[in-house]
Amino acid sequence: MKMFTKFFVLLFVSFSLISCATSGPKFTELAPSISKLPPDVGRIYVYRVTSFGALFQPDVKLNGEVVGKSTPKGFFYIDRKPGTYEILTSTEVDRKLSLTLEKGQTRYVRLNVSMGFFAAHIYPELVDSETAESEIQDCHFIGQENKLSLSKINMESGQSN
Amino acid sequence: MKKLEFVIISFFCLISLNACAFDVLNIKQIPAQIESPEMTKGSFQLNAELKVDLGTGFSRTLKKGTKWDYVGTVPFGDVFKTNDQILTIEASNIYEAYIVVSASKLVGFYLPVERTFSPLSQPEDLIIKSVQ
């Protein structure tokens, strides 16, 4: 039984260490320098508030493309052309959110955590801007520079022309 | 020690039996082409909150005072969307949704990404007033 106790202590220590590991500027620090949304695209913020299930940080996919990671207390954003999108996270199961994005619109997606059998389930949920803007304040930026988003949009524009 | 082994084996058997249960919650979806006629049917405001049981173990509340704008028609009714609240329907996955109204009753939801209609098992009365 002592082995079990050690195992659980180690498990919880690992959880604690991982949950402290999110780095990057806080939203409050970064907000003034976040680039203005270009008029012909929309923006999606993705954030995870909770450290619960911190061992599980699956990729976040947007229409099949990896756009970030579900890091506890982290956030990132992506700019995309108006259209329909699916956000997917996978642990032992896939969890999907479908949403529309309009020109000039900002949408907020919170990554929630629930427990499964072998792994935590991370599920994306669409959140209203008032709630999200309050919850995201203490999250740390874990995204790429917005240039990546813009180059992606430019690439898509080039392909469609 | 045998007792412990029994517990562990039982635990894993239970997991094996239940692992497939995570994805059983599905919503009924019927393919639906949305048509936008030239004549708009305007907007309305909800005069009373409406709590809707989705039949998936989840529910949604349409908030009092929200304004709903006509966006088109599907074979099951007229489709309205709002900017005043987030509306999604939820089972194992979550889908952004618009409401579908027929004869002043909420009959289901239109899913703009999937382009499907998800019916309610029981239509719900909407207490509304027209808005210019």
Tokens of B41: 């049917």
pLDDT value for B126: 95
Reduced to 3 states (helix: H, G, I; strand: E, B; else coil), residue A42 is strand
**B81 inside domain:** yes
User: How close does chain A come to B128, measured CA to CA in Å?
Assistant: 23
With an 8 Å Cβ cutoff, are B114 and A95 in contact? no
Q: What mean pLDDT do residues B5-23 have?
A: 60
B85 and A CB contact within 8 Å: yes
**B12 inside domain:** no
**Residue A158 or residue B90, greater confidence:** B90
Specify the number of domains making up chain B. Answer: 1
Domain that holds residue A10: 2-160
pLDDT value for A160: 44
pLDDT, block means (10 residues), chain A with 161 residues: 58 50 84 91 96 87 95 95 96 93 97 85 95 95 64 53 37
B42-81 residue pLDDT tens = 999 999 999 999 989 899 999 999 999 999 999 999 999 9
A 10 A CB-CB count for B50 gives: 18
This complex has an ipTM of 0.81
Specify the number of domains making up chain A. Answer: 1
A 10 A CB-CB count for A109 gives: 24
pLDDT surpasses 90 at B5: no
**Residues in B touching A121 (Cβ below 8 Å):** 22
Helices H, strands E: what count in chain A? 4, 9
B96 and A CB contact within 8 Å: yes
**B21 inside domain:** no
- Token look-up 């289901």 returns B108
User: How close does chain B come to A99, measured CA to CA in Å?
Assistant: 5
The overall pTM is greater than 0.95 = no
DSSP code at position A38: P
The phi, psi pair for A102, rounded to 5°, reads -110, 165
Q: For residue B33, how far is the Cα from the chain centroid?
A: 17
User: What is the rounded CA–CA span in Å between residue B96 and residue A55?
Assistant: 29
DSSP code at position B57: S
A112-129 residue pLDDT tens = 998 877 878 899 999 999
With an 8 Å Cβ cutoff, are B113 and A100 in contact? yes
Domain that holds residue B122: 30-131
The phi, psi pair for B67, rounded to 5°, reads -100, 130
Residue (of A75, A84, A88) closest to A42 by Cα position: A84
